[in-house]
Amino acid sequence: MLASMCLCTFQVAPKLAGVAVAAAAYAGKYGIEAWQAFKARPPRPKLRKFYEGGFQAAMTRREAALILGVRESVAAEKVKEAHRRVMVANHPDAGGSHYLASKINEAKDMMLGKSESSGSPF
């Protein structure tokens, strides 16, 4: 009985080894294909993508939301927080532009509904 058990083990071992080699080959193949697909993907910018383009003649709600970095339908508290954050980065007393500060203030007014389109003084 021991001899028949050993004989069975010797017959199964090469088949098991073959299955393991085949599985490793398939895993390697799919790994190489995944790596090539990863390398072929288009490059993504490392930094945040900002809105490209100038200001519109009359401020719209969409443009105001883009300037402040919020959604068009956002609570007033979030608009005030975003205005404060953007204004700190672009305040004229800290080296920022008067024009940008006026556009930021106009965007806040537009989002809060204080003025429809008063226009920038510049």
* Cβ–Cβ < 8 Å for 40, 91: no
Residue 11: phi and psi, rounded to 5, are -80, -30
| Distance of alpha carbon 57 from alpha carbon 117, whole angstroms | 10
Please give the pLDDT value at position 23: 94
Give the amino acid at 112.
L
**Chain centroid offset of residue 20 CA:** 40
Q: Average pLDDT of each block of 10 consecutive residues along the chain (122 residues)?
A: 52 83 94 93 70 77 90 91 92 88 92 67 55
Q: Which CATH superfamily is domain 61-112 in?
A: DnaJ domain (1.10.287.110)
- In tens, the pLDDT along 38-56 reads 999 887 766 665 566 678 7
Residue keyed to tokens 């697909």:
37
Please give the pLDDT value at position 37: 92
Domain boundaries, the chain: 1-42, 61-112
Residue keyed to tokens 């930021």:
104
